[in-house]
């Protein structure tokens, strides 16, 4: 997939046109700041999965989940 790039200045001048292009083509646009990629604009795609399905597989390791937590292991805001 080819990724188009536009500068912040060009995006500011043609924002509506660029957003319509992204919406119709589905191709993302990268907005650059001083020649470096800064922001990617892409079409929104709703995730139809349930929250539990989206989280499934996200826990990589769960070691000793029932061990007590010591007083000095808690982080607190003062």
Helix (H) / strand (E) containing 14: helix 8-25
Number of domains composing the chain = 1
Residue 2 has pLDDT above 60, yes or no: no
In a domain, 62, yes or no: no
Residue 13 counted as domain residue: yes
State the residue range of the domain holding 22.
1-44
In a domain, 51, yes or no: no
Residue 55 counted as domain residue: no
End-to-end CA distance of the chain: 49
β-pair type (4-7, 29-33): parallel
Mean pLDDT of the chain: 86
Domain CATH for 19: 3.40.1620.10
pTM over 0.75: no
Q: 9-39, pLDDT tens digit by residue? A: 999 999 999 999 999 999 999 999 999 999 9
**Residue 6 and residue 18 in contact, taking contact as beta carbons nearer than 8 Å:** yes
Note whether residue 21 is domain-resident: yes
Q: Any idea what the Cα angle at residue 32 is, between residues 24 and 46, rounded to 5°?
A: 40
């Amino acid at each position: 997939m080819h990724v188009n790039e536009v500068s912040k200045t060009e995006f500011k001048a043609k924002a509506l046109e660029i957003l319509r292009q992204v919406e119709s083509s589905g191709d993302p646009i990268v907005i650059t700041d001083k020649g470096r990629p800064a922001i990617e604009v892409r079409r929104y795609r709703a995730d139809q999965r349930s929250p539990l399905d989206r989280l499934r597989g996200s826990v990589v390791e769960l070691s000793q989940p029932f061990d007590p937590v010591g007083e000095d292991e808690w982080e607190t805001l003062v």
